[in-house]
Chains A and B, each alone.
Chain A
Amino acid sequence: MPKILIVEDEPNLLELYTKEMRDEGYEVLTAMDGEVALDLVKKQLPDLVILDIKIRKMDGLKVLHEIKQFNKDIPVILNSAYETFKSDFSSWVADAYLVKTSNLDQLKLNTKKLLQLN
């Protein structure tokens, strides 16, 4: 069972993503801030990370950078309410950039694709 880490500081959204991804058959790890997220990446070695950008303690883009430095093969999906970070070149190392919506089909599809590639 693939293990994915969801980083999201909105508790209700985190809960939604967790439930939906579990329904998809993934093992789900959760983190509400950047520091916890990085800690989990290093200790639990998830197969994929879904990462919000505006989070507490450490900026999502910095977390992305650290994950890729730690292991560039872990796919990361940036999942932000804002489209603006698309033009920030530090977001380009992400494997996918999604703008948050209530329809999780794209999130699920991208997760599935990236896990298959690996």
Chain B
Amino acid sequence: MSIIIDRRLNDRKKSSVNRERFIRRYKSHIKHAVTDMVSERSIKDMDRGGDVKIPVRDISEPTFRHGQGGDREAVHPGNHKFNPGDRIKRPEGGGEGDGSGDQGGEGDGQDSFTFTLSREEFMELFFDDLELPHLSRTEVGDIVEFKMQRAGYTRQGSPTNLSIARSLRNALGRRIALSARPRHELQAVSAQLAELEDEPQTQELERRKATLRESMELLGKQISKVPFLDDIDLRYRHRVPVPKPISQAAMFCLMDVSASMDERKKDLAKRFFTLLYLFLSRKYQKVDVIFIRHTEEAEEVDEEHFFHDARTGGTVVFSALDLMRQIMTDRYPAGQWNLYGAQASDGDAFGADPDKSSDFLSEKILPDLRHFAYVEVPDSDSRPSRLAAAYRRIDCEQFAMRQVRERRDIYPVFRELFSSEKA
């Protein structure tokens, strides 16, 4: 007789462990593919999974087999033209000679092994071991907040923290321990009494029974005197204050959208910020991102407008920095927030603007910041821009600047700026 079982509700995804292992093992290959993908994709598609290709040879599992060469015969079906003794050309690669019916492993005849990465996996690899710089500082530094954390049990506490289960457990133990002797005695006495019941009735016996009953009563009283709950049983949940490091961060994204930023440059800048935004939104639960774009004047915009809205005009870098400072003082006091800044521009700035901006940045903004990254998207001829020249004078470990010329530079530069510290 057969048994029929419905297993559809059993755990699925049994293979996910093995899948993860595979990805971990071939991380370097997959990362390579991911980097390629990033440079090919449009900005809107950045935040998605995708197909990854790995050369089959790199992931093959070797075994001892016969190689090419030597003498062999193979039987095939479907003959419709050959007679014994006919000669035929050896096919390239000797495929036919080996076609003895066993499968040629994964992906017959294909030279790459293709599979699909989910969005999560894609992002994981994308931002693997990237970290916001200098975040660790706040963990010890100026402690502002405490949070209460469980820390076992105490004998004293407020009634609201009373742990009923613990207290009753103690009470039960105590009751058992304290009433042990009288209970044993009571048992013995009642056994004696039961024995006497069976014997013939005499006066002597009656007397002995009476004393036994008396002592039983006494023992019963002793037992009942053990209190159900005593002060020493009580236990309270203990909570201690633990200093809470600030892990809330605010990131300022500054982008130049002036006329000199042509579509190509804007695209590069936006790509950089897209990466940055994805990275931040993935890394921290609470990260405020402030988008500031500027022409000759700066404005704070939302994410959608920042990335997908066109606008042209002149360039005044200072306006953006000034707005940033303003927002910092208004909404993000440095004592309570980890502040980061990133700026993208082609470096075209005129008159006093570059020097003014540079001074303003190093004096007013950088002291309060954990990190500030400047990414320049220069014109193809690489004259150092005026803004870059001015920024280069800034001597501060929180400041970093890089140039991005082509799409494929973005990811490496991004990694360079945010690769986790090795401290």
Q: Say whether A associates with B.
A: no
B interface residue numbers (CB < 8 A to A): none
